[in-house]
Amino acid sequence: MDVYVARQPILNINKETVAYELLFRDGFKNAMSDKIDGYDATQSILYNSMVTIGLEKIANRKKVFVNFTGKNIKNGDVLLLPPGMVYIEILENTEPTKSLIDICKHLREKGYKFALDDFVFDPKYQPFIDLADIIKIDFIITNTEAERQKMREIIPAHVKLLAEKVETEEEYKQALSLGYEYFQGYFFCRPVIISQKAFRVNLASQFLLLREVNRVNINIQSVEEIVKQDVSLVHKLLKYINSPYLGIRNKVHNIRQAIALLGLNGTRNWVNLICLRDLSAEKPNELFIMLLVRAKLCEIVAAALKNPVLNSETAFLVGMLSLSDVILDQPMEHVVNELGLADEIKEALLYKKNPIGELLRMVIHYERGEWNGVRDWCGLNHFSERKLVDFYNEAVHCATEMTENMYQ
């Protein structure tokens, strides 16, 4: 599989490249797809640039501008990039809510810098102006000299202006004369697309790793063992940790050292980014939430049954794998053979004839409101239907909490 990121240079008054804006691309067509929203586009840029291609290859040690929606900022996605090398570019349609401004102030205290994209003045954006180091003025939208000059007059002098979408020598000279300090546009350079082959994803290790890092008490040794078993994860982790943008002075050569340097939250952020992008790419977000609810319910019920042949961790994995055919657009028979799963897991997913498979079938009946199937299973296993309701609510709560705090 190929992954793509486009970069467009940002120049100073001497026409020297001082930074790059990173742009979403899903192929060699030099335009953003209208099928992806801003949040997902930022996720893709972070994944492709920090994990697969390598930020040092894309930006050559220069600063980067990355578009962030309010949701990206609230989810903690900014923390995946080192503060000294990134401008958080706030999109023009982002509402300056109090909670978002508070998060941005905290990020600024950590050393992050802010840029405002496609800026059009409105008093409600004053909190963003107060945070900004650079404001980008779109020369297609602000298309007269008077309007461009007015922007310099109404924006505080300490905030630098970037003339965006500069397409002629005349526009460049005009921006220069009006006091603009940075420039970007087709007059200088069109975006350049950088592509690289991504390692094939091991679905089983992704599920195991996702579950492990989101435990209340994360076991770093278990995380290390899971990563070691998947060459794609080893490659992605070492590429990420050895990026000069993270500021690690010495090269990292082993998994344990990398995880120790990232710390618990850093490791959790990295894993969640990898797994969510890999497992639910091009699928509705609700699909992932459904998987979590299903997996948690399988786990909780298996633990409550106290049946020696029903391991709760295995039940969780079966629940998570139960929509693999939908995620990968492949028959389940092909998926389970490719993953090299244990026989009991294969049997549960394919035939639902063993205890774990019967449990999974009951959980699916519950999801669909097929109550006769639920009652039959409860009767055979002497299990309280009332307790099952409570367990389902607990599973929904766990899944919701996990997704809401996924990047914190």
**pLDDT of 408:** 39
**pLDDT of 407:** 36
**pLDDT of 202:** 63
What are the structure tokens assigned to 112, written together?
A: 């992050």
**pLDDT of 197:** 54
Q: What does the alpha-carbon distance between residue 142 and residue 336 come to, in Å, rounded to a whole number?
A: 56
DSSP, collapsed to helix, strand or coil, labels residue 74 as helix
Q: How far is CA 261 from the centre of its chain?
A: 21
Residues contacting 145, CB < 8 A, separation 6+: 174, 178
φ, ψ for residue 247 (rounded to 5)?
A: 75, 20
DSSP, collapsed to helix, strand or coil, labels residue 288 as helix
- Tally the residues of the chain: 408
The answer, as to whether pTM is greater than 0.75, is no
DSSP single-letter state for residue 52: I
**pLDDT of 190:** 72
Q: What does the alpha-carbon distance between residue 54 and residue 194 come to, in Å, rounded to a whole number?
A: 11
**pLDDT of 368:** 87
φ, ψ for residue 396 (rounded to 5)?
A: -65, -45
Residue 303, amino acid: A
If you search the block for the tokens 């963003």, which residue do you land on?
A: 128
**pLDDT of 405:** 42
DSSP, collapsed to helix, strand or coil, labels residue 397 as helix
Domains and CATH numbers, the chain: 2-196 (3.20.20.450), 199-279 (no CATH), 285-404 (no CATH)
Query: DSSP H helical segments within 53-202, as ranges?
Result: 55-59, 70-74, 98-109, 126-131, 145-154, 169-177
Q: Pairing state of beta strands 2-11 and 17-24?
A: antiparallel
pLDDT per residue of the chain (408 residues) written in tens, 0 to 9: 566 678 888 999 988 889 988 888 765 554 445 556 787 888 778 767 765 666 777 777 788 999 999 988 988 888 878 888 889 999 888 899 999 999 999 999 999 999 998 888 888 889 999 999 999 999 999 989 999 999 999 999 999 999 999 988 899 999 999 999 999 988 777 776 666 555 555 666 776 777 677 665 777 888 888 887 776 777 677 767 766 656 666 666 667 778 888 887 777 767 766 775 666 555 555 676 787 788 889 989 999 998 887 888 788 878 877 887 776 667 888 777 765 567 888 889 887 789 999 999 999 999 888 899 999 999 999 998 888 888 988 888 877 665 554 433
Q: Pick from 281, 287, 280, 247: which is nearest to 266 by CA?
A: 247
Q: Which residues pair with 366 in a beta bridge?
A: none
Q: Which residues pair with 20 in a beta bridge?
A: 9, 64
**pLDDT of 30:** 44
Residue 400, amino acid: T
What are the structure tokens assigned to 195, written together?
A: 């592509």
**pLDDT of 178:** 94
What are the structure tokens assigned to 202, written together?
A: 């091991």
Q: What does the alpha-carbon distance between residue 392 and residue 364 come to, in Å, rounded to a whole number?
A: 12
**pLDDT of 200:** 53
